[in-house]
Amino acid sequence: MQISSKEVLFFIGITTVIFLIAPLFLIVYVNLYNRRKKKHAEEKEGLKQAFNTELLKTQMEVQEQTLKTIGYDLHDNIGQLLGLTVMTLGSINMQDTEKAGEKVAAAEALAKRAVKELRALSRLLHGEELLNRGLIDAIAFELEYLERSDLFKITYTHPESPLPPLADKATIAFRLFQEILNNIVRHAQAKEIVINLAFAGNVLTLSIHDNGSGFDVTEIMKQHKGMGLQNIQKRAGMIGGQAQIQSTPGAGTTIKITIPY
């Protein structure tokens, strides 16, 4: 079978077109790949910057909440101790040596308590320093100040062993705890708070339950009031976790946060 010159020319033409088009397709593919790679790198950098910004904001909020705690304690606890010390010293009658000695001893005991409280407060001055003790102790230390109010029955269970030292996740987890606790104190009208911190299978679980007034989760999330709950979910999601919010009007609230740790 003989091949005509037209067929040869057609074959040569097709081959030429293929050789011309193939590099063009390759150039277009490489260009698209590089664009996608660049876009992915930009998105990754954007997410990293957003995380760092949120982490910095969280650290500042931890410090702000810590300073509020210090302010309350200075006013409600240490201020009262020093006030009682001054009153005790001012009531001393130097003519009555026996009672004077008792009042001096009482004033000394009050002053020592005030010094002890001030030393405890000094450890709260920076949220990072508090977290250096570990998330377990940081939560316990925060609850210690709340327990002094005698307004809540508090139950706190946690692992016996220290948690892995993951500073970023510990900071955000601690701030989530602070935010939830603050919401309970301000809005829940609760008498009992139960906190459970657990760690198993490289997953950290923080569960906080109160027996307060509760609310309709769906309805609250639709309103502006739900921004706080959405913020809790957002921050948990930033570190690969999730926040589950369960509440019933009149039956209290449970917020469960799970974080890969």
pLDDT digits (tens, 9 = 90+) for 156-198: 999 998 888 877 888 889 889 988 998 898 888 999 999 999 9
Residues 6+ apart with CB under 8 A from 63: 126, 127
pLDDT digits (tens, 9 = 90+) for 29-80: 777 777 887 777 766 676 667 777 777 777 677 766 666 666 666 666 677 7
pTM of the shown model: 0.61
Report strand pairing: 253-260 vs 242-247: antiparallel
Residues 254 and 210: their CA atoms lie apart, in Å, by: 7
Residues 189 and 252: their CA atoms lie apart, in Å, by: 9
**φ and ψ of 159, to 5 deg:** -65, 150
3-state secondary structure of 166: coil
* Domains of the chain, first to last: 135-261 (3.30.565.10)
**φ and ψ of 254, to 5 deg:** -130, 125
What number is the average pLDDT over the span 221-228?
71
Instruction: Judge whether 174 and 244 are in contact, CB under 8 Å.
Output: no
